[in-house]
Amino acid sequence: MRGDLSSVLFTEQEIQARVRELAARIDQDYADKSVLLVGILNGAVMMMADVSRAMRIHCEMDWMAISSYGSGVASSGVVRILKDMNTSVVDRHVLIVEDIVDTGLTLSYLVENLRSRNPASIEICAGFRKPEAVAARHVEVKYLGFDIPSDFVVGYGLDYAGRYRNLTGLGILDPKVYS
Ligand code: IMP
């Protein structure tokens, strides 16, 4: 897989160190609350597994699977829920765990959807964020791993055509792979 990357942005060690910092902040902020982590399938599986295991406080976990309508390349912001949570979020402290925020449209739709179900609070934890999301400000990511360039990246749960999710670091996919 390494040969398909034009560069490595973050090694496994760098990501794990940052994840531990995020988990420590989450531990502090939710010390006296019961937090419900909601992972967005499939990309957030690695982030969810690592953040939750680096936490020292109790948490519950649930999952949603969503798909964006649109061309497949650009996010349309209209999201279809393929799998909903099993848990009710009413009066719960919800922390959405996502792999990457590109435009932020997917997450902003999801936040609005979950907010309408009356949680006690709702925040976002994401591994990576692209400049587009910073500019558009559709959502605020309280617990962010890293800001990255707008290139197409793979690894740490992020795929290209279903592959590369099991790459432990994060890298820019060499355009030769998809051109
Ligand atoms: P947004 O609605 O534009 O923020 O799109 C977010 C979703 O697009 C993420 O959950 C990913 O599934 C996907 N995505 C965005 N950028 C990348 C990338 O560089 N590599 C792989 N998937 C990406």
Cα(105) to ligand 1 centroid in Å equals: 10
Question: What per-residue confidence (pLDDT) applies to 74?
Answer: 56
pTM to 2 decimal places? 0.95
Cα(73) to ligand 1 centroid in Å equals: 9
Average pLDDT over every residue of 156-178 = 95
Probe target for ligand 1 pocket from 40, 100, 129, with the most ligand atoms within 8 Å of CB: 100
Is 62 one of the annotated active-site residues of the chain? no
∠ CA 85-88-91 to the nearest 5 degrees?
135
Q: Is the pLDDT of residue 77 over 80?
A: no
Average pLDDT over every residue of 142-160 = 97
CA distance 98 to 84: 15
Q: Is 1 helix (H, G, I), strand (E, B) or coil?
A: coil
Cα(31) to ligand 1 centroid in Å equals: 31
Position 61 confidence tier, pLDDT thresholds 50, 70, 90: very high
Position 75 confidence tier, pLDDT thresholds 50, 70, 90: low
Question: What per-residue confidence (pLDDT) applies to 70?
Answer: 54
Which protein residues are within 6 Å of ligand 1, measured from CB?
43, 75, 98-106, 152-154, 158
Q: How big is the chain by its Cα radius of gyration, in Å?
A: 16
Average pLDDT over every residue of 126-135 = 92
Q: Is the pLDDT of residue 72 over 60?
A: no
- Which candidate in 4, 29, 62, 102 is catalytic? 102
Position 137 confidence tier, pLDDT thresholds 50, 70, 90: confident
Order of strands, edge to edge, in the sheet holding 35-41? 79-83, 59-68, 35-41, 93-101, 121-129, 143-147
Question: What per-residue confidence (pLDDT) applies to 78?
Answer: 76
For the CA of 130, the closest atom of ligand 1 is 16
pLDDT in tens, 94-103: 999 999 999 8
